[in-house]
Structure 1
C-alpha cells in the first residue's frame, strides 16, 4: 500500500509519498509545523487530478510538479531518465495518493 511518510529534518517537517514498491514518487516542501505538513498532504489528496500535474524535461531528466488550484507547487516528483518512467510515477500518485495512509516517522 502506498504511504505518505512524515519526517523531521533540518528543523522542518517533510512528507514523501512511497509507492507500493517502496520507491519515493513525490516529495513535499519543508514545513515549520507537523500540522502544516499534514495540511500539505490533504492538499495533495484534494488535487489529485491530471490537470494539477505539470511535466517537465530539464538537464536530461524528466519530472513533474504537482500544483494546487492556485498554481502553488505542493509536491515534486523524483527525477526520471525517461518520459515513460515519469508518466508511470505520475499515474502512481494519481491512483495511490487519495487513499494512502500516513506514517509519522518524526
Structure 2
C-alpha cells in the first residue's frame, strides 16, 4: 500500500496537508495555507524536494526527541515530521517521505 497526501481544513478555515505512509501514519505535516491552491503548491514542492536528502533538516527538540523539517530550494519549511524517540526512527521517517511523496495519491477532505 502506497502513501497519500490529504488536504484538509484547519479549525481556522485555513488549509493544511498531511503525507501519510501506506500504514496510515502521518509522516509529514504542513504549515497552514490561506488557499487550497497554495496548499496544492506545497504538495508539489514536497514531491519535488523530497528526493534530495540535503533538503531535510534533522533537529532535536528540548525534550531530546528527534524530528525533521523538509525545506524547499528557497529554504522555506514545507513540512515537519512527528517526534521520534531515536535518531534511527527519524531517519526511517525521512526515508518514508522520500519513498512515499513522489507518487502519493491526493485525497481532498475539504
TM-score of Structure 1 vs Structure 2, range by shorter chain = over 0.9
2:81 pairs with 77, 84, 91, which one? 77
- Which of the pair is proportionally richer in strand? 1
Report the RMSD for the aligned CA atoms in angstroms. 0.7
Separation (CA, whole Å) in 2 of partners of 1:32 and 1:74: 14
Separation (CA, whole Å) in 2 of partners of 1:76 and 1:100: 17
Query: 4+ residue runs of structure 1 moved beyond 3 angstroms?
Result: none
TM-score by length of 1: 0.97
Q: Residue deviations 1:10-67, cap 9 Å, x none?
A: 2100000000111100001100111110000001111111010000112211000100
Counterpart position of 1:5: 6
Counterpart position of 1:30: 32
Are 2:47 and 1:45 equivalent residues in the alignment?
A: yes
1:55 pairs with 55, 58, 76, which one? 58
Structure 2 alignment gaps of length 5 or more: none
How many residue pairs get aligned? The number is 106
**TM-fit CA distance, 1:83:** 0.7
Structure 1 alignment gaps of length 5 or more: none
TM-score by length of 2: 0.94
